[in-house]
Structure 1
């Protein structure tokens, strides 16, 4: 069997590379991850659940299996009384093995996901923060992942996260012109609210750069995410707009399910030359509805209907806009100091009182 082409080889050849979606939120909805800590011990504790989600993304058309390693650092696993039975190393190794197993079932690569760390928010020393990152990267090197989603050395490409319109960026400034392109990075752009903004941001990127764009769907209330999730039809339109803007690596983040990735794969069928396996039971742009028993539903079996649809919740008294929490704090503020002990009732009361004042 010929070796798989690497990420840069695929992009250099003009291929469309499709990433996967959001494991943390998807597995929390399925009952395998605890909301709050959001730590990924399921990779070691419930490997079959993680393996199955990888397979669903592969079936939907993903070319990349990202390791389920977000927040798999020892400091985060210990954060605020988050009791767990696995070390960061155990979780990271299990996640790499699962991603590789499923990637080898198709033409997919493995991306090691380097996590942020609470040590940074708590203003630990530069050496302490680097040590946390190194422990995770050491596992990725040992497991020989194909590339990393983060700025790191020792792999063929550095993928630099840039969370535009977030309170602060994790690694570098949001200005594309500040990136060092000498190491052939793929720029990761993540937005909390708008896929439209992603397309606009591309205009500020050097034209010879290869882009990896992921739409970051979560809000400040991740356990009430559902009203904000994009429809599959919006994803098809986004995939086309992104491709036309020159983007060749398109994936998803928090809130993205396999059907979002399938929508991307289906829209870009002409460019890729094939449909994903997940389309066997699915009609592109709703054409499968032509088999429905009710005529008014069969009338929706066309692209024109879904392209013009304006989704709404339909619930009585539903607000048109949400009101995000605005605490106005960032690295170094007392509210962000991390601790190993569980949050006490007294600490929670202070937070509840402050939240009430911010309403």
Structure 2
């Protein structure tokens, strides 16, 4: 087991293994009262480490191979905009987040990834030196803690993501890069295939999509990235960490344009069976790093692990009392519930919302 812990992300992916990522943090912690909605900055890593640690542990138990540091939006300019009245520094958050992620990862065979994300500075100034200095400062914090690899995530502009990759590659650590874009491309209209080419040429070892849109839409976008890489004769591992919500109406600007964002998204939550379908679609598309972002709870990660149990060769601890495809329901006292202990029932179910006159679609805000 010890030797497996030390195998790096690229060793695992090069061997064709499925790597299951963890789930969403900021939205989960906001719902639990630890994070402020809107700015979503990660002071909870310092203020409420027990809450972050518990969420890490739930994802690990559900089958995650990677524990990502809770450092989303952890740049000084973003912390300042969020009203960081307590004066908690980015360095404090980064270091505390690394310590917690490593502590929990060491409880299993998981790796620790250091996450950096888009900066307000980019949109404001488009200054490459200024933006790169922010990424370098965060990278230096992570390197003190010897994380296993980096993920540059949640970038709407491929140019900024390329700058992040260029900085992170100076660490000599593997780098993954995921954009929060649709099949239409980034916010500047750069198509997904070209985005992937730019990221790989910048040095990214793993490329893909995270957040903003539902899983199957994100799979479509990663397929376009893969096609772009193939056309350019480039190779990289593919990664996906989408939303855990249904978002069919917002294929440009993403779920931020939905009227339910951020306080009524529960009505759009995906079931574990939706997640099993997503995991299979992603795997069939050649994606081997499969996880989740906002809206992904531990049971969603467990669903991915269960769907790909044959490929991974094991089930996670969280599946011990669960039973595949509802098998545990066979012990229920009611016969009509026992009849649901089978795959066919759940695969063919069309869940109702339970809300009279609930619209099947919403009208997103202007994107």
> Which of the five TM-score ranges fits, normalised by the shorter chain?
0.7 to 0.9
Q: Which structure would you say has the larger Rg?
A: 1
Give the match's secondary structure for 2:359: coil
Q: Which moved more, 1:198-207 or 1:237-246?
A: 198-207
Aligned to 1:174: 192
- Matched residue, 2:146: 144
Q: Could you state the TM-score of these two structures normalised by the residue count of structure 2?
A: 0.83
* Residue matched to 1:20: 22
Q: Distance in 2 between matches of 1:203 and 1:238?
A: 14
Distance verdict in 2 for CA 1:104–1:191, change over 3 Å? closer
Structure 1 distance, partners of 2:82, 2:67, is 30
Q: Give per-residue Cα distances to partners, 1:326-354, cap 9 Å, x unaligned.
A: 1x5xxxxxxxxxxxxxxxxxxxxxxxxxx
**In the alignment, which of 125, 130, 133 is matched to residue 132 of structure 2?**
130
Map 1:206-221; keep pairs closer than 5 Å: 206=229, 208-217=235-244, 219-220=255-256, 221=261
Is 1:157 matched up with 2:174? yes
**2:204 & 2:127 partners in 1: Cα distance?**
29
Offset at 1:197?
2.6
| Aligned residues: CA RMSD | 2.1
SS in 1 for 2:192: coil
**Cα deviations across residues 239-274 of structure 1 (Å, max 9, x unaligned)?**
112112211110000111111000000111111111
- Unaligned runs of 5+ residues in structure 2 are 153-164, 246-254
Residue 85 of structure 1, CA deviation: 3.7
Point out which structure has higher relative CO (alpha carbons under 8 A, 6+ apart): 1
Greater Cα offset, 92-101 or 239-248:
239-248
Which structure 1 segments of 5+ residues have no match?
329-359
Moved over 4 A (4+): none
Match of 1:201 among 221, 241, 254: 221
Count the aligned residue pairs.
Answer: 326
Q: CA deviation at 1:37?
A: 2.2
